[in-house]
Structure 1
Amino acid sequence: MRSQCETVLPGLETTMVFPIAKLASLAIKQLSKPVARYAKEGAKRSEFFKRYVCMPPAQLYHWMEVKLKMRILGLGKTKPGSVAPLNEQMATELGAEMLGESIVFMVGVLTLYAEYWRQSRNTQIKEDSQNERLKELEEKLLDLQVVTEKQDMQIRHLSRLLAGFGPPHQVTQDSNQTVRQPGK
């Protein structure tokens, strides 16, 4: 009964851990959205974040987007100063949106990496367990081979001993039939 419990529990543990890990990763993703929203609002209020964190990536994104659209539309190359920068409010809004999306994206990437690492670790544990079991079986097989060889040697030795011990005199059928009677 105990061995049945031991074999059932490991499978039960892995089936219980799997949904919990999935739920935890989903919860982390959902929690990252309010954090991103808070970061966006903080970026809009803080002058440092406006100037150095939100606006530069937003202006670069706007410049690259305009250049790409101009090329796609076939309007030719744009001159370096020909793309008008976004105003401060629009740049701050776009930069804060990019910051929020990048936070959500990074949380997603980290969650994927954590899940990959967990799966790799579980696979490695299973492989190590299988390798250990295989090693134990090989050792047992070697032990059985040694025992078999010893028993084979003992059987050969006993066979030789038995061959050396023959009956004290050989009686044939003819000698049994010719029995002399005394006096005749």
Structure 2
Amino acid sequence: MSGPGGQPFPLSKLAFMYVKKIAQPLANRIAVRAKKDQRFKEMFCLPPANLYHFYEAKIKFIFMNIGKIRVTKVPKLDEKTAIELGSNLCAEFIIMSIASVIALNEVMKYKERERLKDEASDKEFTELTDYVKRLENVIDAQNQKINEMLGLKCDSNEFLRYSGSFAVDWPAASKSTKSATAKADANSSAQKI
């Protein structure tokens, strides 16, 4: 995969150059401090520079296939070059660390926002399901009351049918029920006498 200029990943190279440019003032300050402070130079500038130079030389020898000689000892850098390389590495490491922390913070904020959205949608979903369940309970209760009312109507119709005075015409049915009840009252009073 190569870009338009024939170089692989041109945007990553551009980003790395941008970081180097931003880190340059910090690298200059680190180099000045390393020249003044021997302990700072030995702890922060020289070890990363020597380590970087050692592995860079080994990798170059392997990939360039320079001779069949195995590299056992890489020549050390002189102190001025090592301080410059070490200060550049330290500055780039600091800038990349800060950028990584900022990016990680943004990712964590994004995840928190997504988690809050998910919680809100889950809460809304549970509220809707609870509401639907309550509506189902209300509908069941109303259906039960309707069935009870239908049952009462059926019971009253059966009562009228069994008394022998059930008719399609309600006013006629009510007159016949009155006369039937009057006869029943007359019979019961006759029996008492």
**Alignment TM-score, normalising by the size of structure 1:** 0.68
Q: In 2, distance between residues paired with 1:114 and 1:172?
A: 83
- 8 Å contact from structure 1 (residues 50, 92) kept in 2: yes
The corresponding residue for 1:93 is 84
Q: In 2, distance between residues paired with 1:34 and 1:61?
A: 18
Structure 2 segments unaligned to the other structure (5+ residues)? 1-18, 173-193
State the 4+ residue runs in structure 1 displaced beyond 6 angstroms.
none
**Structure ID, larger Rg:** 2
Which residue of the other structure, out of 154, 173, 176, is the alignment partner of 2:145? Answer: 154
Query: What is the CA distance between 1:119 and its match in structure 2?
Result: 0.7
| Matched positions, count | 143
* Change in CA separation of 1:40 and 1:118 when aligned onto 2, cut-off 3 Å: farther
Q: Which amino acid aligns with 2:110?
A: Q
- 8 Å contact from structure 2 (residues 23, 88) kept in 1: no
Q: Describe the superposition over 1:46-87 as per-residue Cα deviations: whole angstroms up to 9, x where unpaired.
A: 221211111011011111112222222222344433x22111
- 8 Å contact from structure 2 (residues 45, 87) kept in 1: yes
Choose 65-74 or 93-102, whichever is displaced more.
65-74
Structure 1 segments unaligned to the other structure (5+ residues)? 1-28, 177-184
Q: In 2, distance between residues paired with 1:100 and 1:111?
A: 17
Q: In 2, distance between residues paired with 1:40 and 1:142?
A: 72
- 8 Å contact from structure 1 (residues 54, 99) kept in 2: yes
- In percent, how many aligned pairs have the same letter? 22
Whether 1:113 aligns to 2:109 is no
| Greater length-normalized contact order (CA 8 Å, ≥ 6 residues apart) | 1
Q: In 1, distance between residues paired with 2:72 and 2:37?
A: 30
- 8 Å contact from structure 2 (residues 50, 76) kept in 1: yes
SS of the counterpart of 1:86? coil
Q: In 2, distance between residues paired with 1:172 and 1:46?
A: 117
Q: Describe the superposition over 1:89-108 as per-residue Cα deviations: whole angstroms up to 9, x where unpaired.
A: 11111101000000111111
